[in-house]
Chain A
């Protein structure tokens, strides 16, 4: 059950047969999530794509995230991976610490957390602001642009490239590789493998270069040199580079895109932020809650009954953070965007030991991208709401999103 043909087909009951790649679910997953959440079976199951569980209530998603010894991170995608044993040069290169379990997880994470602490990512704010302004300079005179491809898509890839110290002109290729792994690749293992190998081969060369020519204030050089504290291998450093690309690009791009799609349709929210700039940090959290882009997965370590569900060792669980973040048991009026929402315990970045390591960078990029857009283009609307295209599955956000101003 790995090809699109085998796994498509109409869904009659999402609690027993959901399909996260169904075009309707990809476009707007929230009604289905709500239907499952309020059913007798709030942890749904499907046999599609090799089978998975789908917890939709906040408390269940958080409980699974916290039980990292039972619900492990050895596999973080929903689709079965028949090629896992045949991945050749890729074998053994994961994406630490997102794919690590304790005890290695502890040092895998400790090495990169300082890079992403709030005070560390602050130095990327001005560069991100300049980048956003340059992008807008390119289309502001046209009166129309694609908020997805011309803007949201262009930002995180360049911020990550700068952090990794790699060439800025790789942006389009990086985007294509990441989409190859995370969008097309989720349902096409061959495409996934090809693109993973492109990423790894690119960073192998970067590593070789840094060993010959170490740089000052350079993440890859610093990681390679941290072997005095931890058993750092090339494989680990390659894995971190892989993670930064895979986890840092179309996630934040999706959050920026969804937020612009929202603002295009809500002039009252644009005005609210113009009138109350102090609201920005709270507003960013609300947009992250309402349009959480990421659904991670876990692999069940041993047979266990969880909330009445007979989970078996090797089963996959989809961590439906977007569903948890719209659970009415946790959030009042969950489907409404309330920019000054005071009580907002969202888990857009996950919960427990795998909390998104790049969350502070993502917040910064999202805030700056939206601030610059609203400063430069205070009034705008969708050219054609029906023409907006979406990516879905495990990362949800608009891809083509034309706006007029």
Chain B
């Protein structure tokens, strides 16, 4: 599983970093960044899916 953030959609809600702080961080403006490059370790998959489901802007894209 890999994850990225669509920066055109992200509004800095930070719901992703609350659901999965290991995976998502914040840039200078408070918009989401992905902290893990490449494949996500297995134990973070469920949290990452939750982060995606909780994003009110539909800005999180998961590739499996």
Contacts and interface: CB of A to CB of B under 8 A. Distances in A.
Contacts of A349: 13
A124 interface: no
A146 interface: no
A285 B54 CA distance: 11
Interface string A272-295: 000000000110010000000000
A360 B30 contact: yes
Contact of A113 (B29, B53, B54, B56): B29
Contact of B57 (A282, A346, A352, A363): A352
A63 to B, nearest CB: 12
B54 to A, nearest CB: 5
A49 B14 CA distance: 35
B51 to A, nearest CB: 11
A405 B18 CA distance: 32
Given A345-B15, A353-B11, A118 B54 contact: no
Nearest to A344: B54
The size bracket of the interface on B is: 10 to 19
B56 A118 contact: no
A355 B12 CA distance: 8
Given A345-B15, A349-B13, A352-B11, A117 B29 contact: yes
Interface string B26-52: 111110000000000000000000100
Contact of B14 (A343, A347, A352, A359): A359
B55 interface: yes
Contact of A281 (B13, B18, B26, B57): B18
A360 B29 CA distance: 11
Nearest to B47: A342
Interface string A346-374: 11010111010001100100000000000
A186 B28 CA distance: 36
B57 A114 contact: no
Given A351-B56, A355-B11, A113 B50 contact: no
A110 B15 contact: no
A219 interface: no
B12 to A, nearest CB: 6
B50 A285 contact: no
Nearest to B50: A342
Contacts of A359: 12-14
B28 A117 contact: yes
B49 to A, nearest CB: 10
Which 8 pairs, one residue from A and one from B, show the smallest C-beta to C-beta distance? Answer: A117-B30, A355-B11, A113-B29, A351-B56, A118-B26, A345-B54, A281-B18, A347-B56
